[in-house]
């Protein structure tokens, strides 16, 4: 990345421990929709809106999966769970095929 700012005088214009990109974003007032967190020590983290959405979706999916697994465990303990070997084998093969396609 190249920063073309005539107000910078070499290293003296940069603040220690901060990237030129974050300083430029502060000066221009733009963060392109990023979520910003800054600590008292001056550390700064920027996460894109897309990354935040992905993280939220994964968290929701994990919570739903955990709840589903708890229900299956309770059904199994009570004797109300019966698995179809045909459905299970098809699901295993389908998952393997999807993972193979995703790896390409």
SS3 label, residue 9: coil
Tell whether 56 is covered by a domain.
yes
For the chain, percent of residues with pLDDT exceeding 90: 29
Whether 56 and 90 map to the same domain: the answer is yes
- What's the structural domain count of the chain? 2
Whether 43 and 67 map to the same domain: the answer is no
Tell whether 2 is covered by a domain.
no
- The residues, any chain, with a CB within 8 Å of residue 48's CB and separated by 6 or more, are 32, 33, 34, 35
- Give the tens place of pLDDT for each residue, 42-72: 787 777 888 878 888 878 788 888 999 999 9
Whether 43 and 61 map to the same domain: the answer is no
Whether 70 and 85 map to the same domain: the answer is yes
In degrees, to the nearest 5, what angle opens at C-alpha 26 toward C-alphas 25 and 32?
A: 40
Q: Are 61 and 55 in contact (CB under 8 A)?
A: no
Whole-prediction pTM: 0.35
Residue 20 CA to residue 1 CA, distance in Å, equals 9
Whether 68 and 39 map to the same domain: the answer is no
Nearest to 27 by CA among 13, 41, 11, 43: 13
| Residue 76, domain extent | 51-99
């Amino acid at each position: 990345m190249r920063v073309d700012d005539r107000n910078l005088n070499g290293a003296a214009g940069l603040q220690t421990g901060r990237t030129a990109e974050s300083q430029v974003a502060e000066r221009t007032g733009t963060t392109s929709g990023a979520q910003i967190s800054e600590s008292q020590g001056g550390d700064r983290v920027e996460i894109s809106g897309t990354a935040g959405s992905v993280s939220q979706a994964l968290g929701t999916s994990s919570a739903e999966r955990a709840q589903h697994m708890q229900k299956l465990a309770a059904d199994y303990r009570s004797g109300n769970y019966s698995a179809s070997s045909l459905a299970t084998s098809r699901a295993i093969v389908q998952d393997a095929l999807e993972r193979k396609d995703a790896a390409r």
